[in-house]
């Protein structure tokens, strides 16, 4: 207890003794005594009690013909026998009402005496009685309604998880509505008792180790400042910690002591409280002046301001006025009330007690008679056992004593708009140096050549730095990067339940922001807060590209398989033979070779075997021939053959374009399922990351099989970093696949042209900026990220660091040029086989022509009876002359022997002349 409080308590005791000897200087009026039972520390309540009586006695409109006499009794808070004895001494003199006491240990005996003697009993403190006594009225706000106010405030502040610190069992009763609305499916809340003694640090350390930063304090007002001083020693008074104080007197405390201990005034915990007394109210200010004036008349000097008025004192002031005004109204409608001495051990009861208490309840339960006092509107609810449910609480930041809003039966009403609160938070953020923790990993954060341990921002670059810089331009704050010591993202150890990496630094409040390729996961989001994702992605497979097959001169045969080619050749030969046989069988294919001769001696069939073969080959080549079938049967065969060649040649032509312009690659795997179903290619992911956690916790059968294979693989398939995993893929010669986020795969594929991404995303997730749990600037950072996304800045940053910086985009350029050449040009490697076929066919045709020439030369030599050499030279000389289009006919085999020699000589001479001079 402070020295000031001790002196005031002594002063209050002396004033209580001196008051009994003080007489009213006014004319003698009928007196009514009202008794106030107080404890020694209730000096403000005594001031309010006596000042209220003085104000009423001076008021000519309230009880003008009656003089109230206050009786102040200082009673023990634990000695109920002494308290009862003192009250009985008062009732022997006569009393109209009893006010107090606060102590639950002595309240029972006082209530029993008042009920027995039927004396109105007026309370001004919180009490848990389920049903008030018949002659009892309590103008303290209803505990259930106060709990509803706490529920509404917690909901408005979006506190889904928090820790409750209570002092005694009464605190649990006050918070019962808070506990009721928290269902089993909601986020867990913790309830801890403050315990005995004055050292709260062990409890606070335990709470601090759980990373809890939101606390509801239901402790006595006298212990709040000490609790905050000790909380500061265990680092629980920073700006990440928020307190909700349930005491209605928290605003009267001197928080300057707590604030003076905190060196960084920008990092002070947010302490929110509720008050029933509004120091700015004119009623409160006038009442405080009455208190000072009343004590000055008694020769006492006190210094008290409206901000120091406790709720119990204000309620006591209002309770006395409530009693006096009710008594005044009752005297106007009924005979005046007078006192009577009553014995606690007697049978006599006060005859006016029941009528007075009933009238008070009915008066203040009628909306037309509601009064306003220091505690606002005074109204009793008949549906709630005449408790006070309709009241207004002011929400305040108790460490700064700034009012932020009000609560009443209709809900929370804030004084500031959302825009005003956002401006206030921005202003607060602009004064804060944000420490940003990250880890090295291209392109998010990379070292520059001039980097040192102390260089901070100047020695680093990357996507993460550019993103934080853009956010800082929007929100106007300063930032400082540093690297996490263990180089890890942050994972939860299932045994120790401890985090590592970036998440640990955020939990320890070493950093304000954490950014890199940090995936938002369920476990991480339970430990820290995340902004909205600044990049969406999924797990995919990084693998080496297969080697392109060597060029094949006969790639034009690829559109059809070997067996199809064999079947086509067989069909060609079979249909040609069938056409030849049918042509010989049908009589309609035999025709007159000389149409002018009406009676021919022989008929001719043009569809001999060679012509049938030529007819069908012309159909295949889409060229046709001048040989046409005449009979119905042969035409049907020809028509079916034409339909067959139409389909086959069209299919070949369509498929040939794809085979000549697209280089087929031998992809051994195309999806995660292919990986799971084989054991030749090893695969893995980064150790301790979200990708590893995804496969470890997945319920999908293929992913479970993959996790079992990865976990059993030896040597380990879990690299320490993405760079190590990419290097392993490059050196493995298609024997290792790396599972990583698609955004990182995009970055590597842009720089390593021999790598590629395989399959679709196995999941869907995002990268977010992490921050300590319940960070007050989370909404601001998320809003800045959304603004950058809508403006296209995020896309521009990704374009910069993925495709422009540090060798990005070169593989895309190569692929584009290769694709353009493949689509528009065919190289000799693609169509060279066609030239080979053409040259081979021409060479074979030349050999056939030579053979035909030699055979013809031999025939000429025999027919003309000349030497083969002479016939060869003569035929060769004629063939090599490029002029002339006629040639003498050789002797007719059917000429008579008598004339053969003469005719041969003549023809030979003509042939020689033609050879010598073909123009004549």
Least confident of 252-266, 798-812, 827-841: 827-841
Residue 184 and residue 243 share a domain: yes
Which residues partner with 514 through β-bridges? 437, 770
Residue 884: how many other CB atoms lie within 10 Å: 12
pLDDT in tens, 437-450: 999 988 999 998 88
d(CA 549, CA 714): 33
410 and 264 in a common domain: yes
Is the pLDDT reported for residue 642 higher than 80?
yes
At residue 820, the pLDDT reads: 47
Mean pLDDT computed over 701-713: 93
Across the range 348-354, mean pLDDT stands at: 91
Give SS3 for 807: coil
246 and 149 part of one domain:
yes
Confidence of residue 82 (pLDDT cuts 50, 70, 90): very high
Instruction: Decide if pLDDT at 788 tops 90.
Output: yes
Per-residue burial over 571-580, b = 16 or more CB atoms within 10 Å of its CB, e = otherwise? ebeebbeebb
**Within a domain: residue 234?**
yes
> Which pair of structure tokens corresponds to residue 365?
């339960």
Q: Evaluate the CA torsion angle 576, 577, 579, 584 in order and state its sign.
A: positive
Q: Looking at the structure, do residues 440 and 518 belong to the same domain, yes or no?
A: yes
Instruction: Tell whether 524 is in a known binding site.
Output: yes
Q: Taking 90 as the threshold, does the pLDDT of residue 384 lie above it? A: no
Same domain, 35 and 62: yes
Give the pLDDT confidence of 474-530 residue by residue, as tens digits. 999 999 999 999 889 998 888 888 999 999 999 988 999 999 999 999 899 989 999
Residues 176 and 216 in one domain: yes
Q: What is the mean pLDDT of the chain?
A: 83
How far apart CA 624 and CA 632 sit, in angstroms, is 19
The answer to the question of residue 709 being in a domain is no
| 678 backbone φψ class: left, alpha, beta (φ>0; ψ -120 to 50) | beta
C-alpha–C-alpha distance, residues 542 and 759, integer Å: 9
Burial class (CB within 10 angstroms; exposed 0-12, middle 13-18, buried 19+) of 45? buried
Question: Which of 327, 358, 382 is where one domain is finished?
Answer: 382
Q: How far is CA 627 from CA 349, 585, 616, in A?
A: 141, 18, 10
**Pick from 284-288, 665-669, 839-843: least confident:** 665-669
pLDDT at residue 434 tops 80: yes
Strand partners, 37: 73
What is the rounded distance in angstroms from the CA atom of residue 117 to the CA atom of residue 422? Answer: 59
Q: Is residue 119 assigned to a domain?
A: yes
Tell me the pLDDT band of 561, cut-offs 50, 70 and 90: confident
| Position 464 pLDDT exceeds 50 | yes
Same domain, 408 and 446: no
Residue 534 tokens read as 């600044």
741 is in an annotated binding site: yes
Here the CATH number for the domain that contains residue 158 is 3.40.50.2300
Residue 201 belongs to some domain of the structure: yes
Best CA proximity match to 914, nearest among 883, 868, 892, 893: 883
Same domain? 157 vs 135 = no
Does 896 reside within a domain?
no
377-391, 653-667, 750-764: least confidently modelled range: 653-667
Tens of pLDDT, residues 649-659:
888 888 877 77
Look at residue 387 and tell me if it is in a domain. no
Q: What are phi and psi of 216, to 5 degrees?
A: -105, 120
- The three-class DSSP label of residue 107 is helix
Q: 127 and 168: one domain?
A: no
Strand pairing class (371-373; 604-605): unpaired
Q: Is residue 689 part of a domain?
A: no
Contact 329, 359 (CB under 8 A): yes
> What is the span of the domain harbouring residue 772?
425-538+765-808
CATH number assigned to the domain comprising residue 774: 3.40.190.10
194 and 224, same domain (yes or no)? yes
Judgement on whether residues 482 and 376 belong to the same structural domain of the protein:
no
145 marked ligand binding residue: no
Count of structural domains, the chain? 3
Cα 274 to Cα 223, 246, 494, distances in angstroms: 17, 7, 41
Task: For residue range 864-882, list pLDDT tens digits in order.
Answer: 788 888 888 887 777 676 6
The 10 Å Cβ neighbour count of residue 353 is 22
For residue 562, what are the contacts with CB-CB under 8 A and spacing of at least 6? Answer: none
Closest CA to 781 of 474, 510, 461, 507: 474
Q: 565 near 648, Cβ under 8 Å?
A: no
Highest mean pLDDT among 314-323, 584-593, 664-673: 314-323
Shared domain for 359 and 403, answered yes or no, is: no
Instruction: Look at residue 445 and tell me if it is in a domain.
Output: yes
Return the number of other C-beta atoms located less than 10 Å from residue 692's C-beta: 19
Among 753, 781, 808, where does a domain finish? Answer: 808
With a CB cutoff of 8 Å and minimum separation 6, the contacts of 852 are: none
Does residue 519 have a known ligand-binding role?
yes
- Asked if residue 8 has pLDDT above 60, the reply is no
Residue 666 has pLDDT above 60, yes or no: no
867 assigned binding-site residue: no
pLDDT digits (tens, 9 = 90+) for 399-431: 667 888 999 988 899 888 888 888 888 988 998
> Domain boundary at 784, 808, 832, which?
808
């Amino acid at each position: 207890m402070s020295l000031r409080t001790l002196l005031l308590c002594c002063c209050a005791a002396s004033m209580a003794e001196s008051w009994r000897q003080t007489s009213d200087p006014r004319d003698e009026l009928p007196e009514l005594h009202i008794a106030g039972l107080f404890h020694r520390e209730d000096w403000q309540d005594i001031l309010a009690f006596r000042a209220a009586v003085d104000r009423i006695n001076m008021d000519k409109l309230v009880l003008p013909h009656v003089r109230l006499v206050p009786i102040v009794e200082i009673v023990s808070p634990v000695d109920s026998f002494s308290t009862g004895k003192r009250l009985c001494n008062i009732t022997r003199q006569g009393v109209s009402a009893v006010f107090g006491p606060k102590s639950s240990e002595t309240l029972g005996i006082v209530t029993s005496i008042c009920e027995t003697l039927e004396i109105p009993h007026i309370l001004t403190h919180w009490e848990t009685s389920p049903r008030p006594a018949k002659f009892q009225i309590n103008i303290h706000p209803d505990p259930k309604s106060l709990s509803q106010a706490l529920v509404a405030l917690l909901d408005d502040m979006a506190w889904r998880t928090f820790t409750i610190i209570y002092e005694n069992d009464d605190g649990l009763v006050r918070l019962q509505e808070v506990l009721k609305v928290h269902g089993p499916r909601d986020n867990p809340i913790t309830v801890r008792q403050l315990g005995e003694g004055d050292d709260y640090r062990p409890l606070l350390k335990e709470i601090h180790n759980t990373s809890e930063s939101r606390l509801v304090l239901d402790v006595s007002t006298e212990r709040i400042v000490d609790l905050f001083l000790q909380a500061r020693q265990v680092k629980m008074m920073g700006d990440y910690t928020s307190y909700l104080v349930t005491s209605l007197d928290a605003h009267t405390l001197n928080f300057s002591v707590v604030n003076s201990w905190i060196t960084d005034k920008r990092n002070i915990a947010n302490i929110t409280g509720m008050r029933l007394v509004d120091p700015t109210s004119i009623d409160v200010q006038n009442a405080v002046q009455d208190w000072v004036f009343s004590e000055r008349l008694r020769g006492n000097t006190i210094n008290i301001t409206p901000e120091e008025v406790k709720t119990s004192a204000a309620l006591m002031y209002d309770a006395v006025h409530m009693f006096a005004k009710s008594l005044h109204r009752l005297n106007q409608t009924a005979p005046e009330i007078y006192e009577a001495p009553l014995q606690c051990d007697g049978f006599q009861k006060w005859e006016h007690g029941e009528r007075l208490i009933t009238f008070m309840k009915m008066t203040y339960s009628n909306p037309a008679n509601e009064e306003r006092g220091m505690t606002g509107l005074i109204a009793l609810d008949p549906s709630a056992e005449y408790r006070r449910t309709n009241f207004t609480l002011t929400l305040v930041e108790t460490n700064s004593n700034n009012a932020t809003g009000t609560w009443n039966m209709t809900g929370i009403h804030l004084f500031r708009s959302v825009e005003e609160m956002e401006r206030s938070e921005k202003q607060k953020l602009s004064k804060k140096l944000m420490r940003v923790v990250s880890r090295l990993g291209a392109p998010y954060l990379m070292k520059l050549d001039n980097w040192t341990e102390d260089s901070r921002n100047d020695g680093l670059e990357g996507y993460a730095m550019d993103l934080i810089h853009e956010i800082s331009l929007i929100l106007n704050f300063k930032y400082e990067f540093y690297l996490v010591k263990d180089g890890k993202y942050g994972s939860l150890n299932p045994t120790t339940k401890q985090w590592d990496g970036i998440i640990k630094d955020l939990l320890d409040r070493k950093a304000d922001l954490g950014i890199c390729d940090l995936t938002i996961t369920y476990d991480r989001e339970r430990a820290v807060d995340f902004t909205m994702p600044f990049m969406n992605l999924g797990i995919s497979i990084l693998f080496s590209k297969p080697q392109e097959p060597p060029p094949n001169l006969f790639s034009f045969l690829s559109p059809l398989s070997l067996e199809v080619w064999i079947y086509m050749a067989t069909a060609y030969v079979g249909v040609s033979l069938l056409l030849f046989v049918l042509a010989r069988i049908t009589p309609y294919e035999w025709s007159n070779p000389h149409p002018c001769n009406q009676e021919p001696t022989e008929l001719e069939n043009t569809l001999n075997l060679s012509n049938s073969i030529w007819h069908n080959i012309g159909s295949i080549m889409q060229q046709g021939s001048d040989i046409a079938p005449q009979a119905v049967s042969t035409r049907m065969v020809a028509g079916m053959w034409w339909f067959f060649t139409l389909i086959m040649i069209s299919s070949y032509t369509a498929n040939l374009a794809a085979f000549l312009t697209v280089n087929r690659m031998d992809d051994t795997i195309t999806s995660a399922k292919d990986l799971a179903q084989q054991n030749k290619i090893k695969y893995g992911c980064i150790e301790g990351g979200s990708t590893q956690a995804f496969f470890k916790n997945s319920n999908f059968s293929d992913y479970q099989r993959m996790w079992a294979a990865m976990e059993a693989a030896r040597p380990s398939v879990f690299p320490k970093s993405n760079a190590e995993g990419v290097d392993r893929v490059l050196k493995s010669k298609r024997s290792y696949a790396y599972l990583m986020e698609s955004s990182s795969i995009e970055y590597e594929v842009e720089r390593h042209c021999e790598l590629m991404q395989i399959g679709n995303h196995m999941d869907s997730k995002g990268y977010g900026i992490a921050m300590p749990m319940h960070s007050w600037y989370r909404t601001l950072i998320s809003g800045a990220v959304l603004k950058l996304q809508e403006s296209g800045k995020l896309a521009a940053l990704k374009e910069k660091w993925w495709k422009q910086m540090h060798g990005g985009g070169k593989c895309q350029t190569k692929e584009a040029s290769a694709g353009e050449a493949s689509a528009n040009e065919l190289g000799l490697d693609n169509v060279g086989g066609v030239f080979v076929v053409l040259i081979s066919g021409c060479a074979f045709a030349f050999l056939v022509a030579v053979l035909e020439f030699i055979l013809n030369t031999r025939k000429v030599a025999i027919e003309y009876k000349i030497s083969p050499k002479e016939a060869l030279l003569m035929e060769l000389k004629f063939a090599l002359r490029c002029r002339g289009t006629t040639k003498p006919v050789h002797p007719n085999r059917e000429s008579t022997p008598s004339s053969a020699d003469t005719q041969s000589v003549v023809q030979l001479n003509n042939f020689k002349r033609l050879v010598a001079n073909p123009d004549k």
